Amino acid sequence: MDRIKTEELTGAQILIRCLQAEGVEVVFGYPGGAVLWIYDELFKQDKIRHVLVRHEQGAAHAADGYSRSSNKIGVCLVTSGPGLTNAVTGIATAYMDSIPMIVISGQVPTHAIGEDAFQECDSVGITRPCVKHNFLVRDVKDLAVTMKKAFHIATTGRPGPVLVDIPKDVTTHTCEFQYPETISMRSYNPVKKGHAGQIKKAVQLLLEAKRPMVYTGGGVVLSNASAQLKDLIKRTGFPITNTLMGLGAYPGTDDQFLGMLGMHGTFEANMAMQHCDVLLAIGARFDDRVIGNPAHFASDPRKIIHIDIDPSSISKRVKVDVPIVGNIPDVLSDFLGLLEKSKTQDIKVWWKQIDEWRGKDCLKYDRKSKIIKPQFVLEKLYEVTGGGAFITSDVGQHQMWAAQFYKFEQPRRWINSGGLGTMGFGLPAAMGAQMANPGATVACVTGESSIQMCLQELSTCKQYRLPIKIINLNNKYMGMVRQWQQFFHGNRYSESYMDALPDFVKLAEGYGHSGLLIDKPADVEPALRETFKRKKDLVFLDFLTDQTENVYPMIAGGKGLTEMILSEDL
């Protein structure tokens, strides 16, 4: 038997040891009264690097971006009360996109809990609906095992953020420290292996399909199943679409890829979704932005196979025929094994139909415009970075254009808030991506409205020399709000105009970075080329773009997949 080594440590020391034992290299945080002892211990060691953000929302988004862009887990550390409440938007963002993340929050001392103490809030209560799980550690003896549980829960099954709330006195109390090597919980045992009978049934359906379609989401990215997915698509010759969260799981330049689907998906992807006879959904959840109206979706008959790690995602909005609960790479490997000896149907006719839909060229825009078209900037961004950059985005039109025009070749390169739709996500997420991938090219695609929501992080970027490239598509409007107001509110642009904008170039310079204003289409590419040569600097590119441009195709809220508004319709 192994010799068990124990030593008497304080709660703060134990916490740091736990993080080290989990291989944590970076913590994003902001100090405060309740976490002083934890910060004291951080100070005394050099294995974990602390990144001081300028607002706790930034810490949560950065930890989130760190997780999304790597296979490591992001950790954020905040103080009690406002420290935690500031982080809530970031926690909810990670939760909606199933991003593994550990949030450590300080709490007032145990004896003061419930007495409305200074900087007290019910952190576990406030975060309960937006975490996978959370803990309040009342006794230092429970700390190590709670941390082990937190990492276990955050990273297994359907991942998600886990919060550990630690009262200040717990960080000073001592006990013998021993970090558990494994943990087992009777109430938490996520399924891994898919049901063999269901997998057989699913493969049979795929073999019989005349109009097959594969639709994959963020689950493929999160479970690192891209290799298996590629094999499956190549082996079957089936068409594939990715959700906003799933981009990069399958190479964006491949012929079998129909582009993103959904509210702003391509004509061909949406049409193929509606008209297929067998749909294979993998790690996706048929949400409202993806299939629109479920009744409309159900109006065409098709068999649906749904693979997901989370049983509650299956048959939630759309009734499926063959549910398979399991870890995606394992299930797909099982599929491939069964497909080896069999032959799929000839689907030439189906591809002919799809190519006809493709002929619509639904993403076309005015390439001769004298004003910079946002789509043009993104096309050039793609060309200049060769499709290999980490692209984070904020929320709105620019996000959709980035998803449509940047062809992601690899998973974990496209980092955006898909579920919660959090403006302000882009810049701090880029910090996380850059910390997780030092030396890699990281760009943040944003708009003049979104960027102002976490603008203070420019200071963090300076302090840690994060050479992020900010692509600001500045149309002086909350573009997506303006677009909806144009379409559905009689052109009444209520409060969507962004007045009194700062001079972004000067602003970037004020933070010690460089900035550049680009207002002519001819200057777009040279500016990008010059910018991406500067490997060490953060450069803020302020592109003045067409104020009236809209994102097409578009499916209005409550409409069906085939009821798209195309640019040519207007």
Active site members: 56, 118-119, 168, 480
Answer for which of 27, 136, 391, 444 binds other proteins (CB under 8 A) is 136
Instruction: Please select the residue that binds other proteins; options are 12, 15, 87, 124, rule is CB under 8 A.
Output: 124
Candidates 132-140, 206-214, 230-238, 550-558; binding stretch for other proteins (CB under 8 A): 132-140
CA distance 262 to 431: 29
User: Could you tell me where the beta strands, DSSP code E, fall in 357-492?
Assistant: 390-393, 414-415, 442-447, 469-474
**Phi/psi-derived region of residue 351, left when phi > 0, alpha when psi is between -120 and 50, beta in every other case:** alpha
With beta carbons less than 8 A apart as the criterion, state whether 195 and 189 touch. no
Cα angle at 383 between 382 and 389, to 5 degrees? 45
| Complex with other proteins: residue 19 or 150, whichever CB lies closer | 150
Report how far apart, in Å, the C-alpha atoms of 521 and of each of 13, 197, 504, 550 are.
Answer: 56, 57, 19, 18
- Helix 374-385 with 397-405: angle, nearest 10 deg: 40
Whose Cβ is closer to other proteins: residue 6's or residue 187's? Answer: 187
When binding is defined by CB under 8 A, the residue of 5, 186, 341, 343 that contacts other proteins is 186
Question: Shortest distance, CB of residue 93 to other proteins, whole angstroms?
Answer: 17
Q: How many CA atoms lie within 13 A of 469 on its CB side?
A: 25
Binder to other proteins among 23, 45, 111, 125 (CB under 8 A)? 125
Residues between 339 and 398 with contacts to other proteins, criterion CB under 8 A: none
Q: Quick one: 186 or 492, whose CB is closer to other proteins?
A: 186
Site for other proteins, residues 276 to 315, rule: CB under 8 A: 310-312, 314-315
**Which residues, other chains included, contact 281 with Cβ-Cβ below 8 Å and sequence gap of 6+?**
215, 216, 217, 304, 305, 306, 307, 308, 320
Cβ 7 to other proteins shortest distance, Å: 28
Restricted to residues 138-167, the positions that interact with other proteins (CB under 8 A) are 153, 158
- To the nearest whole angstrom, how small is the minimum distance from the Cβ of residue 353 to other proteins? 33
Binds other proteins (CB under 8 A): choice among 185, 295, 522, 570: 185
Strand runs labelled E in 254-362: 257-260, 278-282, 303-308, 322-325
Task: Check if the beta carbon of residue 17 is closer than 8 Å to that of residue 42.
Answer: no
Nearer to other proteins, 128 or 465 (CB): 128
CB 69 within 8 A of CB 428: no
* DSSP label of 430: H
| Shortest reach from residue 380's CB to other proteins, in Å | 43
Among 55, 61, 68, 133, binds other proteins (CB under 8 A): 133
Q: How far is the CB of 18 from other proteins (least distance, A)?
A: 19
By DSSP bridging, strand 390-393 and strand 414-415 are: parallel
Cβ closest to other proteins, residue 23 vs residue 125: 125
- Closest CB to other proteins among 5 and 186? 186
The distance of Cα 283 from the centroid of its chain, to the nearest Å, equals 14
The site map against other proteins for 317-336 (x = CB under 8 A) is --x-----------------
Q: What is each CA distance from 282 to 227, 279, 335, 414, in whole angstroms? A: 14, 10, 12, 18
Least distance (Å) between residue 133 CB and other proteins: 4
Judged by CB under 8 A, which stretch of 108-116, 126-134, 468-476, 544-552 contacts other proteins?
126-134
DSSP annotation of 185 reads B
Residue choice 118, 188, 493, 497 for contact with other proteins (CB under 8 A): 188
**Does residue 439 belong to the site contacting other proteins (CB under 8 A)?**
no
Nearer to other proteins, 204 or 312 (CB): 312
Residues near 141 by beta carbon (within 8 Å), at least 6 away in sequence: 175
Enumerate residues 6+ apart whose C-beta is below 8 A from 144: 14, 17, 18, 177, 178, 179, 180
Return the number of the residue (138 or 201) whose C-beta is nearest other proteins. 138
Segment near other proteins (CB under 8 A); pick from 19-27, 63-71, 186-194, 398-406: 186-194
- The b-or-e profile of 376-408 (16+ CB within 10 A means b, else e) is bbbbbbbebbebebbbbbbbbbbbbbbbbbbbb
Token pair of 243 as six digits: 């959700």
DSSP 545: B
Stretch that binds other proteins, among 16-24, 86-94, 130-138, 212-220 (CB under 8 A): 130-138
CB of 288 to other proteins, least distance (A): 15
The nearer residue to other proteins, 254 or 310, going by C-beta atoms, is 310
Contacts with other proteins by CB under 8 A lie at 124-125, 128-129, 132-134, 136, 153, 158, 185-188, 310-312, 314-316, 319
